Amino acid sequence: MKKIIIAFILLDNFLTNLPKKVLFRSRWVLEGKCRKCGTCCKEIYLRITPRQLSSKLFTELAVRWTSWIFDFELLRIDYENCYLVFSCKHLRSDGKCGSYFWRPNICRNYPLVDYFEEPKVLPDCGFRARPRNML
């Protein structure tokens, strides 16, 4: 059942990101490449709005759903910056993903390139962001 749900999530990700890449290009360009060290799997930051975070029920449901569907484990809740911080149970000892084909969107899209904000990368990440030359 979980694989079917993830298949629909991946299809949604593709259909959502296609127009962004073609029609609404970000102001940022990523350079570099993944070092395959697993650092981004040890601390996965999922943004949550202050209003969602103020609801104990919503936060609990979000944590349980994310933990179940992606096999993430909650490390902490960052109330100050509004993030749920998880680690992934699929990280192997060699730093690679044990479930690469079925990895969630947050893993496929890391580092996330937002239209307005500079991409945030973890320390020691092989990626760097630079402003796109907008004409």
Structural domain including 38 reads 25-131
Domain count, the chain: 1
Query: Does any domain span residue 17?
Result: no
Is residue 74 in a domain?
Answer: yes
Looking at residue 22, its amino acid is V
Q: What is the pLDDT of residues 69-91, one digit of tens each?
A: 999 999 999 999 999 999 999 99
Residue at 53 is within a domain? yes
pLDDT digits 0-9 by tens, 19-74: 656 666 777 888 998 888 888 899 999 999 999 999 999 999 999 999 999 999 99
Residue 26 to residue 123: CA distance in whole angstroms:
22
Q: Is the whole model's pTM more than 0.85, yes or no? A: no
